[in-house]
Amino acid sequence: MSALAKFRRISRSLRFRLTLGYALFLCALLIGVGAVYRAKLAASLNVQIRDGIEQEWAAIKGYLRIQNDRPIWFYDTDDPDESFIVDRLKRVYMLADASRKVREISEIYQSLGVDSPAEIAAAIRSPQPIWRVRGNAQGAQFLIRSGAIYDEKNEKKYFVAIGRGLADNHHILEQFTWTYIGVIPLIILTGCLLGWYLAARALTPVLEVAQAAQRISGSNLSLRIPTRGAADELDYLIETFNRMIERLENSFSQIRQFSTDVSHELRTPITAIRGQLEVALFTASSIEQYREAMLNALQDIERLSQIVRALLLLSQAESGQLALQKAQTNLSSLVADVVDQFQIPYEETRVRLTADVAPECTIEVDRIQIERMISNLLSNALKFTPPGGNVRVTLRRNPQGVELTIEDSGCGIPQDHLPHIFNRFYRVPGGDSGPERGLGLGLSFVAWIVKAHGGLVRVQSTPGKGTCFTVSLPARDAAMGISETPGIPVASGMNEL
Ligand code: ADP
């Protein structure tokens, strides 16, 4: 990988982006804090220098006397402290009388330029001191305080200005600025390294999850990513991921089971057809024997076509290609019609089929599919009820919609098989056999049709006593969903159907 490609890959990584974001934030924060701190420092230096000048102004009143318009400094020249103070006062200093005439001025003040007569007059008049920043030709700046001093003896006002250089303050501020600017990259670099390390630590579990996910394939879906016990967002992600794998595993095993079932179901008639044709080819000697072999083969071919047709229909239904053609349908007459179709004289089957149908139960359904559903349930009930038994169909209206019950006094279904009867190709062992043997797809259709109508199907069964299927269909299109009713076994896997 070239260096550029490597950089591109790193720059797109979450770790890099996290660190960059962190560094930018730190940078902005440091600049903001620095600017605020510098402004505060400048303000406090300004206050300090003003306080100093105010003290000097107070001192000047003690040391300066004006006699005949001439300034006279009263202090003990032998006292080094007083000499120092007066020298300092006179460093940046100017005295002018009310006629704007300069009476005394220091060298430094001279370099700043003498105040204009208007400024002198304004300062003498003003009850408040006047503060100004003034600079000399070399660029040095000074803070100047000007105001009036009153000579009570002569009842005269004089203009006095004193000041201090701002160079020290500027120097302190400059030093702070450069030191801070010098320190910022160091802090940011340390922050970046720390951020890079912390981001790596935070993202390590994510990489571990990704690696674990990579190991999971169609053949080892039983693998799970271990949670870290931190109960954090990542553990939540791992748990969600594991649940997804579990669902995938279930779907995969259902698909595998389905393929096994289909091949098994198709193999049986194909083997039978093959056997019958071989027997006819090698052993049949008369037309009758050929005929019989052909008939048997045709029967098996018919069964094969049935399986293929049913599977096709079921897959269309489940993939949503089989759209429901819903219309307002009188279920009462539909149920009565289907029951009539299944009515066989009692003497023939010795099973009594009765119907108790409430009148005018009209709801919006797909007539063909609902007819298929009733037929499937009814044919099962009749098939699994031995002679002397009863099958009863009931249709009732309820506040939510309608309820259809198909109850038989047949062989019943053992409890441990109940959860599976809606699965494709599932037949309770020892049930029907021979040419009457079903495909094990009827109830899969029932489950899909009920679900597609937003209804609910429940089954209750007692081996040796009978079975009762209850289908609830909502009157409105508001889906009821297929849910479990406590205490009533409902076929598992319906939601997957
Ligand atoms: P089949 O075409 O085999 O009837 P179904 O999907 O309709 O397939 O039914 C699945 C299995 O459920 C049946 O093979 C049977 O064992 C059991 N079953 C369904 N309905 C009844 C019933 N009314 N009484 C007893 N067993 C039943």
pLDDT tens column, 64-111: 888 888 899 988 889 999 899 999 999 999 999 988 899 999 999 999
On whether residue 119 sits in a domain, the answer given is yes
| Residue 173 and residue 47 share a domain | yes
Kindly state the helix (H) or strand (E) to which residue 408 belongs, with its residue range. strand 401-408
What pLDDT sits at residue 313?
Answer: 85
| Residue 255 and residue 285 share a domain | yes
Q: What CATH code is carried by the domain that includes residue 417?
A: 3.30.565.10
Distance 419 CA to ligand 1 centre (A): 12
How far apart (Å, rounded) are the C-alpha atoms in residues 16 and 6? 13
What pLDDT sits at residue 491?
Answer: 38
- State the pTM of this model: 0.54
Dig out the tokens for 129 from the structure: 């001191």
Q: Which residue has the higher pLDDT, 492 or 470?
A: 470
> Where in the sequence is the domain holding 68, given as residue range(s)?
12-215
| Residue 192 and residue 169 share a domain | yes
| Residue 150 and residue 23 share a domain | yes
Q: For ligand 1, what atom is nearest to the CA of residue 379?
A: 4
| Residue 446 and residue 352 share a domain | yes
On whether residue 365 sits in a domain, the answer given is yes
What pLDDT sits at residue 485?
Answer: 36
On whether residue 263 sits in a domain, the answer given is yes
- Beta carbon of 163 within 6 Å of any ligand 1 atom: no
| Residue 199 and residue 63 share a domain | yes
What pLDDT sits at residue 497?
Answer: 27
- Beta carbon of 426 within 6 Å of any ligand 1 atom: yes
By the 10 Å C-beta count (0-12 exposed, 13-18 middle, 19+ buried), 422 is classed as buried
- Beta carbon of 422 within 6 Å of any ligand 1 atom: no
What pLDDT sits at residue 489?
Answer: 35
Q: For ligand 1, what atom is nearest to the CA of residue 422?
A: 6
In angstroms, the Cα distances linking 407 to 206, 286, 448, 461 are: 55, 49, 20, 9
On whether residue 4 sits in a domain, the answer given is no
pLDDT > 80? residue 116: yes
| Residue 272 and residue 158 share a domain | no
- Beta carbon of 385 within 6 Å of any ligand 1 atom: no
On whether residue 87 sits in a domain, the answer given is yes
Name which residue sits closest to atom 19 of ligand 1, judged by CA: 380
Buried b vs exposed e over 320-349: b needs ≥16 C-beta within 10 Å?
eebeeebeebebbebbeebbeebeeeeeeb
- Determine the distance from the C-alpha atom of residue 376 to the mean position of all C-alpha atoms in its chain, rounded to a whole number: 45
What pLDDT sits at residue 494?
Answer: 32
In angstroms, the Cα distances linking 439 to 74, 130, 316 are: 128, 109, 18
| Residue 307 and residue 237 share a domain | yes
pLDDT > 50? residue 492: no
How far apart (Å, rounded) are the C-alpha atoms in residues 85 and 83? 5
Q: For ligand 1, what atom is nearest to the CA of residue 410?
A: 24
Average pLDDT, the chain: 87
Distance 446 CA to ligand 1 centre (A): 11
Range with the poorest average pLDDT among 210-219, 274-283, 361-370, 414-423: 210-219
Say if residues 53 and 162 touch (Cβ distance below 8 Å).
Answer: yes
On whether residue 220 sits in a domain, the answer given is no
What contacts 143, CB < 8 A, 6 or more positions away?
A: 46, 49, 50, 53, 131, 132, 133, 163, 164, 166
What pLDDT sits at residue 65?
Answer: 87
Q: CA-CA-CA-CA torsion for 30, 33, 38, 44, nearest 10 degrees?
A: -150
How far apart (Å, rounded) are the C-alpha atoms in residues 443 and 482? 14
pLDDT tens for 134-179 read 999 999 999 999 999 988 777 889 999 999 999 999 999 999 999 9
How far apart (Å, rounded) are the C-alpha atoms in residues 470 and 387? 23
Distance 187 CA to ligand 1 centre (A): 76
- Determine the distance from the C-alpha atom of residue 405 to the mean position of all C-alpha atoms in its chain, rounded to a whole number: 45
| Residue 114 and residue 24 share a domain | yes
Residue ending a domain, choose from 215, 241, 272: 215
What pLDDT sits at residue 253?
Answer: 83
Residue ending a domain, choose from 181, 215, 249: 215
Name which residue sits closest to atom 2 of ligand 1, judged by CA: 438
What contacts 151, CB < 8 A, 6 or more positions away?
A: 66, 157, 158
What pLDDT sits at residue 403?
Answer: 96
Range with the poorest average pLDDT among 49-53, 321-325, 351-355, 488-492: 488-492
What pLDDT sits at residue 40?
Answer: 97
pLDDT > 70? residue 481: no
Say if residues 480 and 400 touch (Cβ distance below 8 Å).
Answer: yes
| Residue 249 and residue 196 share a domain | no
Q: For ligand 1, what atom is nearest to the CA of residue 439?
A: 2
Q: What CATH code is carried by the domain that includes residue 275?
A: 1.10.287.130
- Beta carbon of 307 within 6 Å of any ligand 1 atom: no
Name which residue sits closest to atom 16 of ligand 1, judged by CA: 428
Per the structure, how many domains does the chain have? 3
- Beta carbon of 147 within 6 Å of any ligand 1 atom: no
Handedness of CA 291, 292, 294, 298 (dihedral sign): positive
- Of all residues in the chain, what percent carry a pLDDT higher than 90? 53
Instruction: Compute the average pLDDT of residues 299-313.
Output: 88
In DSSP notation, 382-398 reads HHTS-TT-EEEEEEEEE
Instruction: Compute the average pLDDT of residues 282-299.
Output: 89
How far apart (Å, rounded) are the C-alpha atoms in residues 149 and 135? 24
Task: Give the model's confidence band at 432: pLDDT under 50 very low, under 70 low, under 90 confident, else very high.
Answer: low
Say if residues 173 and 161 touch (Cβ distance below 8 Å).
Answer: no
| Residue 302 and residue 205 share a domain | no
How far apart (Å, rounded) are the C-alpha atoms in residues 301 and 316? 22
Name which residue sits closest to atom 21 of ligand 1, judged by CA: 380
On whether residue 185 sits in a domain, the answer given is yes
Name which residue sits closest to atom 20 of ligand 1, judged by CA: 380
What pLDDT sits at residue 339?
Answer: 94
Range with the poorest average pLDDT among 66-75, 117-126, 249-258: 249-258
On whether residue 304 sits in a domain, the answer given is yes
| Residue 198 and residue 175 share a domain | yes
- Beta carbon of 269 within 6 Å of any ligand 1 atom: no
Kindly state the helix (H) or strand (E) to which residue 275 belongs, with its residue range. helix 233-282
Residue ending a domain, choose from 273, 292, 319: 319
- Beta carbon of 410 within 6 Å of any ligand 1 atom: yes
